[in-house]
Amino acid sequence: MRTWPDPSGLARIGLAALLALSGCAPSLKNVTERPHTRATSNHADSPLKDHLASHIPPGQSGFHLLQGGHAALAARLALAQRATRTLDVQYYLFHNDTTGKMVAATLLAAAERGVRVRLLIDDIDTADKELRLATLNTHPNIEVRLFNPFHTRSTNLFVKGWQALRDNVRLNRRMHNKVFIADNQIGITGGRNIGDEYFDAHHDLAFIDLDVIAAGAIADSLSTSFDQYWNSIAAVPASALPVDAGDIRLQRAAQFLQQFRAQQMDSDYGRKLTAADPIPKLLEGQLAWRIAHADLIVDPPEKVLKRSKSPSRLLIGQLAGLWLDPTRRALIVSPYFVPGASGMAYFEYWRSQGVQVDVLTNAYAASDVPVVHAGYANYRVPLLEAGVNLYELKPVAEATGGRLRDLGSGSSRASLHAKTFVFDDEHVFIGSFNFDPRSALLNTEMGLVIHSPELAREVTAIAQDAMRPERSFRPRLVVEPVTQGTSRRVQWHDLHQGKERVFDVEPETTLLQRGLLRVLQTLPIEEHL
């Protein structure tokens, strides 16, 4: 007779193995020095300030959209090259790929000129980058901090998973903020992290994203937010990492990065960056700034430590406090879209008031996180019943021209990553916030609410271009009679080579993918999506 191992015994063995692995892995050092530093005054002299004075009136703010990936990276590199005092850089992800190396090289070059560089990165993806971050941190003008770090340092997924289970309240909450600030005069914020897929440099994946350059008075608000995170108890200096990086390694890294950047700038990609760079034209007045009032809304850094007892302090509470309820149209662009009960209540109320509600998100075939798409799929029929117009971006768009990145003849798979809302073509939000429970309740987020009809119309035009039937599937509700009442299901419509198509299942997916989606839809994990 065949016998099977005792499940409880196997569980104990597995737990013991995890504890042993965790015990062998190095941990963060006990670092007592964590000096508080602040952004320099935005009244301090700076060439950037002098340039802006001619184009942005005192006490006001100017904005410029960054839609294309080339322009978005070029703008960051250009600001780093022009900074003379400070660079404050805060990101959820900072990859060690082509664009990551180019940004690192530019930060290092700025530090060599005497610019103070503060680099704050969420710790979710730094396990294999510790030595590189520690090396940058050895430069006297660069300080690196990790936000909400894993105390046990290991690239082993089982060890990281064990930590996440053991300390799930804290480690399940991440810093999703993204900002790049030069001399407390000009900042860039929006949906992009630092990585090839965000800047049209990845061969297999191209994120459709959106940033905004913000200059003038609003830059001080961006810097204040950065300071709050930088000086938070959750921000740990890179000197706590259990790795050693000395001057020799820094010298070698600096030499390699500068050579790498020079080679890239002399390539076809580098020439595209130079051609797309908007900063020289903005500083010289050849490109017009959108002058407008704006509100920075941002979660408090302590959101990662515990559940907030005061929702009004969170980004969603601050947004509600601006009283921007639409009277004509609400446009929601979010790659990860799970409205939840509160979101559905807003949409149903707006529809009852005659407000047109349009939502652009990813199709299942375009999504890079299937489990979040499953959360959205559970709301698709109720959204359609409420009269919400849904649009799902295709993974590859037809070559129809226009402003959206044309992937019709390329090899890259497109995936929506922009996070923006437009109310009545008057107010536009651009930031890191996805319309889902994770952004609302778990991760920290930030964004600008810009009160500018011109900028709102620009964003609306970009979204409407993406919602065209050549580029997005349009889910529609089908109501059919059955034996006892009616049934409701979804059909997807689009245009392909000038002909309308209708799908009764998730377009461009396999039977296996659809089976996985049905399983994921049953999981009780909506609050973590």
pLDDT of amino acid 234? 95
Reported as a single tens digit per residue, the pLDDT across 492-503 is 999 999 999 999
pLDDT, tens digit (0-9, with 9 covering 90-100), for 363-418 = 999 999 999 999 999 999 999 999 999 999 999 855 544 434 443 334 468 999 99
Which CATH architecture describes the domain 32-284?
2-Layer Sandwich (3.30)
Number of neighbours of residue 380 by Cβ within 10 angstroms = 17
Q: What is d(CA 161, CA 177) in angstroms, rounded to the nearest whole number?
A: 23
Mean pLDDT of 201-209: 92
The pLDDT of residue 11 is 42
pLDDT above 70 covers what percent of the chain? 92
Percent pLDDT > 90 in the chain is 78
Asked about 178 being catalytic, the answer comes back as: yes
Query: Which whole-number Å values give the CA distances from 70 to 207, 272, 286, 454, in the listed order?
Result: 12, 7, 19, 23
Q: Quick: pLDDT tens for 481-495.
A: 877 878 889 999 999
Q: Is 424 a catalytic residue?
A: yes
Q: Say whether pLDDT at 155 is over 90.
A: no
Topology, domain 307-528: Endonuclease; Chain A (3.30.870)
Q: Over 60: is that where the pLDDT of 60 sits?
A: yes
d(CA 86, CA 222): 13
The one catalytic residue among 95, 178, 202, 427:
178
- Out of 227, 424, 425, 465, the active site residue is 424
- Please list the residues that pair with 152 across neighbouring strands: 27
Q: Of 49, 303, 417, 427, which residue is the catalytic one?
A: 417
Q: Is the pLDDT of residue 428 over 50?
A: yes
Q: What residue ranges do the domains of the chain occupy? A: 32-284, 307-528
Known catalytic residue at 125: no
Average pLDDT over residues 313-317: 94
Please check whether residue 338 is in contact with residue 526, taking contact to mean a CB–CB distance below 8 angstroms: yes
E-state strands within 141-277: 142-147, 179-182, 186-190, 205-208, 211-216, 235-237
Determine the 3-state secondary structure of 487 from DSSP.
strand
How confident is residue 210, by pLDDT bands cut at 50, 70 and 90? very high
Does the fold of domain 307-528 match that of domain 32-284? yes
Q: Which of 51, 64, 139, 176 is catalytic?
A: 176
| The pLDDT value given to residue 398 | 58
